[in-house]
């Protein structure tokens, strides 16, 4: 049992142009790249883990744990996030095909 991505990788291993790869393969590689990546700073709280609920003279007077990351400030990489897809594709494109 082979997965499609592996077979396509073998088929196109010697193709040196990322943009010439089939879209299906590029999408699979982008997903793989994102999922293999580190946890990311939570975008809702900027990686702080807390969201200010009250400010006083520019200082946080009261805050609550961020609901999005459960107060950890970190979230798992999300391969469905368009921004992360663009970032990942850019990274892959720059290093392609060395880390392919
Ligand atoms: Zn958060």
Q: What is the pLDDT of residue 11?
A: 61
Q: What's the 75 CA to ligand 1 centre distance in angstroms? A: 8
Structural domain for 92, as ranges: 13-37+77-100
Q: Distance between CA atoms of 100 and 91, rounded to whole angstroms?
A: 11
DSSP string over 9-44: HHHHTT---GGGS-HHHHHHHHHHHHHTSPPEE-TT
Q: Does the residue 33 lie in any domain?
A: yes
Residues 46 and 69 in one domain: yes
Q: What's the 26 CA to ligand 1 centre distance in angstroms? A: 30
Q: Does the residue 6 lie in any domain?
A: no
Q: Distance between CA atoms of 32 and 18, rounded to whole angstroms?
A: 15
Q: What's the 67 CA to ligand 1 centre distance in angstroms? A: 6
| Domains: count for the chain | 2
Q: What's the 64 CA to ligand 1 centre distance in angstroms? A: 10
Q: Does the residue 20 lie in any domain?
A: yes
Q: Does the residue 3 lie in any domain?
A: no
Residue 29: Cβ-neighbour burial (10 angstroms; 0-12, 13-18, 19+): buried
Residue 42: Cβ-neighbour burial (10 angstroms; 0-12, 13-18, 19+): buried
Residues 69 and 93 in one domain: no
Q: What's the 10 CA to ligand 1 centre distance in angstroms? A: 39
Q: Does the residue 70 lie in any domain?
A: yes
Q: Does the residue 46 lie in any domain?
A: yes
User: Tens digits of per-residue pLDDT, 30-72?
Assistant: 999 999 999 999 989 999 999 999 989 988 899 999 999 999 9
Q: What's the 51 CA to ligand 1 centre distance in angstroms? A: 8
Question: Which of 97, 73, 87, 72 has the alpha carbon at shortest distance from 34?
Answer: 87
Q: What is the pLDDT of residue 15?
A: 58
Q: Does the residue 18 lie in any domain?
A: yes
Q: Does the residue 23 lie in any domain?
A: yes
């Amino acid at each position: 049992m082979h997965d499609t991505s592996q077979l396509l990788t073998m088929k196109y291993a010697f193709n040196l142009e990322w943009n010439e790869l089939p879209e299906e393969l590029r999408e699979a590689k982008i997903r793989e790249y994102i999922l293999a990546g580190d946890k990311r700073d939570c975008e809702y709280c900027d990686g702080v883990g807390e969201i200010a609920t009250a400010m006083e003279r520019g200082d946080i007077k009261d805050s609550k744990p961020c609901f999005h990351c459960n107060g950890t400030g970190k979230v798992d990489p999300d391969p469905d996030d368009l921004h992360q897809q663009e970032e990942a594709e850019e990274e892959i494109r720059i290093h392609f095909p060395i880390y392919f």
